[in-house]
Amino acid sequence: MQQSSQPAALWIWYPGDFEIRLHEKIAVKRKSRGVMYPAFWRLDRHYSNVIFRYTYDLPQEERIKITSEGTFSLILDGKDNYRSKDSEFTLPAGKHQITVCVFSDVEAPALLIEGAHVRTGSDWEASSYQNDWLPAGCWTFDTPDHRPSRFRLAVTPQEPATVELRDGRPLLDFGRETFGYLRFHNLKGEGAVNVYYGESMAEVLSPEECYSLDRFDAAEAGAAAEDGTYTLDDAKAFRFVWIHADPGVSWDHASMLYEYVPLTYQGSFECSDPKLNQIYEMGLYTLHLNTREFFLDGIKRDFWVWSGDAYQSFLMNYYSFFDLDVTRRTLVALRGKDPLARHMNTILDYSQYWFISLYDYYLYTGDFAFIRQYYDRAVTLMDFCLQQRSGEGFLEGRPQDWVFVDWADFNNTGAVSTIQLLLARSLEAMSAFAGLQGDQTAADSYGELAEAIKAKTFERFWDEEKGGLLHHRVDGVTQPTMTKHASLFAMTFGYLTPEQRESVTQNVLLHPDVPQIRTPYMRFHEMAVLCEAGQHDRVRQEVLSYWGGMIELGATTFWEEYDPTLADDAHYGMYGVPFGKSLCHAWGAGPVYLFGKYFLGVTPSSPGYETYLVQPNLGGLERMKGTVPTGKGLVSVEADATSLRIHGTYGTGVLAFTSAEMPECQEGEVRPLGGNRYEIAIEAGRTYSVSYKAVI
């Protein structure tokens, strides 16, 4: 192949189909005690019949090499009856159009063309024969062997931390929660091997009730071993493994192959409280384990891609790995294809989280090209949502919809106030996207709808006496139930007046009579909002007590749900199953987000962190330091009660802080904002050292 300054050839496919096909595979991996437990929603599928096109202009003829996933035929200049299936082809000089049909009913049809100048990539177009020529999808697959269907996560061997015999059978402890494939080295003999897995010791010691298990025939397994090692087919989530083998079976030792996405830990946080540091690290690890082909809810169960769960993972990811590949894959897989008959994951709120997640993606990355590629799918999803508004204009669940909000004992019939706020926020996102697309009419229309829904929600749900938003409204009558949820979102979305904010903080968030939140899922929002209300110290204590409480119970990753009032093994049950609870659940990793966004205090002020804000808040800590990734750069923050050190590598920041005395900074101008507030402009590449006096 000739040398060339062209970008490398990349495998291309119909946009979204790589992600949708991958999701189809992942969504059926869950097994409950060895039996498949597929996702209970429609799984969308890749188009099997796809066509690609590209127009080139070459001064001389060029030999190209063609590789495809599926069968292909190549057509020059639309001459449909004269096709080539050869793996090499000479393109004539001059300006010509190449069209390549690819069919595959197994994997998403994909194409790799390698020439000195003509090479597949994002400048090719793809169509599913629906008048839908779009820029082709592509990623990092760039050789005939490194092809989309062979996408696999990384693996590395791990040894158990300890092995002991329990009831005469080996019990392996890997020291903390992990995920991967159990392996047997030098397996010999004949008989059955039963493997029981546990996220907790209680689970692994309950062969009749543990969630994950394997059973295999030792002779067959021995024969299937490679280099003396037999690796089980299905990866599992576990810390403990208990191996029950028939007497005739032996092996040297067992280990595992850890499967993971190689992520860069770009975010960091370290403070004067070792317990908080431990919580932060455990949060990162919990998030990492759930950051896979997609952002999953939990690695033991469900191993599914849930939009509301992913919404939080996206945010945590912006403050830790800043991995946009898994973010985009998740957004595309969640959206799937039309026609829409049910909501995302069957949940009304989860359709709304998708829009908000998409907006967050734009805010944190500034990558509008991705939004543009999926804008049409956002429009049809919003059309679908808007169709089911009630006579009053509220979004209500249909009989087939799941209105989730949270795992809690409340009634979600009728119009739920939280749902209306999520819809308003989604409409604001759509309005922004439409404006960026250049469709001002649509932008105005979405914007007006958002305003109308917001206004009507406050009109019908705000309770002046109770000082917050009531939960739901049935048959035109607002019910007296008060929950924290709608008020949380109203606050985080900036929908409250200063008076309402104060009222919500005192009368809802901190009021003991409003039902407590039990899931880390909503604790995530609750803690964030408390920070927004300046209650950092309170949040620090809650984190220590709630997340710290799990650690005290032996957690090595954070859980799906935690109720401090439960006793012993009762912690592990959920869904009516003794070990139904997921002990490594992405939404448990909230502190990763809280510390980065509200303690280090770094947030984008404009898309892609072109401008940003740093508002460090010690929240009762003696000192803290850490970094927040901003996509094109990093912001480092170090703070104690008398000094601040800020460094940003990209974009223009503003450091805003409170000081009891006039602060000093050699590197930048300190601008007093009135009261105790000050700010300093932060240029990229410079370190700002500030002496000040923290207001405790």
Is residue 208 involved in binding its own copies (CB under 8 A)?
no
Per DSSP bridges, beta strands 236-245 and 192-198 are: antiparallel
Is residue 325 involved in binding its own copies (CB under 8 A)?
no
CB closer to its own copies, 301 vs 471: 301
Site for its own copies in 619-658 (CB under 8 A): none
CB closer to its own copies, 45 vs 176: 45
CA distance linking residue 537 with residue 510, whole number of Å: 13
CA distance linking residue 215 with residue 211, whole number of Å: 13
Query: What residue has token string 């250049």?
Result: 438
Token digits of residue 15: 């946009």
Stretch that binds its own copies, among 37-45, 260-268, 307-315, 436-444 (CB under 8 A): 37-45
Which residues, other chains included, contact 376 with Cβ-Cβ below 8 Å and sequence gap of 6+?
none
Map residues 370-409 to x or -, x wherever contact with its own copies holds by CB under 8 A.
------------------------------x---------
Map residues 576-615 to x or -, x wherever contact with its own copies holds by CB under 8 A.
xx--x-----------------------------------
Query: What residue has token string 């945590």?
Result: 316
Map residues 49-88 to x or -, x wherever contact with its own copies holds by CB under 8 A.
x-x-------------------xxx------xxxxxx---
* Nearest alpha carbon to residue 474 among 420, 423, 413, 410: 413
Per DSSP bridges, beta strands 249-250 and 415-416 are: unpaired
* Nearest alpha carbon to residue 638 among 673, 688, 570, 585: 688
Cα distances from 365 to residues 541, 595, 604, 672, in angstroms, run 32, 20, 9, 31
CB closer to its own copies, 131 vs 565: 131
Is residue 39 involved in binding its own copies (CB under 8 A)?
yes
Site for its own copies in 97-136 (CB under 8 A): 101, 103, 105-106, 128-132
Stretch that binds its own copies, among 303-311, 519-527, 531-539, 571-579 (CB under 8 A): 571-579
How many alpha carbons lie under 13 Å from residue 612 in its C-beta half-sphere? 36
- Least distance CB 233 / its own copies (angstroms): 13
- Least distance CB 17 / its own copies (angstroms): 12
- Least distance CB 112 / its own copies (angstroms): 18
Preceding amide of 247 cis, omega within 30: no
Task: Select the residue interacting with its own copies from 32, 445, 492, 689 (CB under 8 A).
Answer: 32
Token digits of residue 689: 């050292």
Q: Spell out a b/e string for 77-105, using b for 16 or more CB atoms within 10 Å of the CB, else e.
A: eeeeeeeeeeeebebeeeebebbbbbebe
Stretch that binds its own copies, among 31-39, 284-292, 358-366, 609-617 (CB under 8 A): 31-39
Backbone angles phi, psi at 363, to 5 degrees: -65, -45
CA distance linking residue 96 with residue 395, whole number of Å: 52
Token digits of residue 259: 């499967």
Task: Select the residue interacting with its own copies from 36, 165, 567, 696 (CB under 8 A).
Answer: 36
Query: What number of helices (H) and strands (E) belong to the chain?
Result: 15, 39
Is residue 47 involved in binding its own copies (CB under 8 A)?
yes
**Alpha-helical regions (H) of 625-689:** none
Which residues, other chains included, contact 208 with Cβ-Cβ below 8 Å and sequence gap of 6+?
none
Preceding amide of 383 cis, omega within 30: no
- Least distance CB 212 / its own copies (angstroms): 13
- Least distance CB 36 / its own copies (angstroms): 5
Is residue 34 involved in binding its own copies (CB under 8 A)?
yes
CB closer to its own copies, 340 vs 589: 340
Site for its own copies in 330-369 (CB under 8 A): 338-339, 341-342, 346
Backbone angles phi, psi at 497, to 5 degrees: -75, 160
Residue 633 parent element (H or E): none
- Least distance CB 68 / its own copies (angstroms): 11
Q: Residue 220, Cα to own-chain centre: how many angstroms? A: 39
Is residue 559 involved in binding its own copies (CB under 8 A)?
no
- Least distance CB 51 / its own copies (angstroms): 8
- Least distance CB 270 / its own copies (angstroms): 41
Task: Select the residue interacting with its own copies from 8, 33, 264, 376 (CB under 8 A).
Answer: 33
- Least distance CB 39 / its own copies (angstroms): 7
Is residue 28 involved in binding its own copies (CB under 8 A)?
yes
Task: Select the residue interacting with its own copies from 274, 575, 675, 696 (CB under 8 A).
Answer: 575
Q: Which residues bind its own copies (CB under 8 A)?
A: 24-25, 27-28, 32-43, 45, 47-49, 51, 71-73, 80-85, 101, 103, 105-106, 128-132, 338-339, 341-342, 346, 400, 575-577, 580
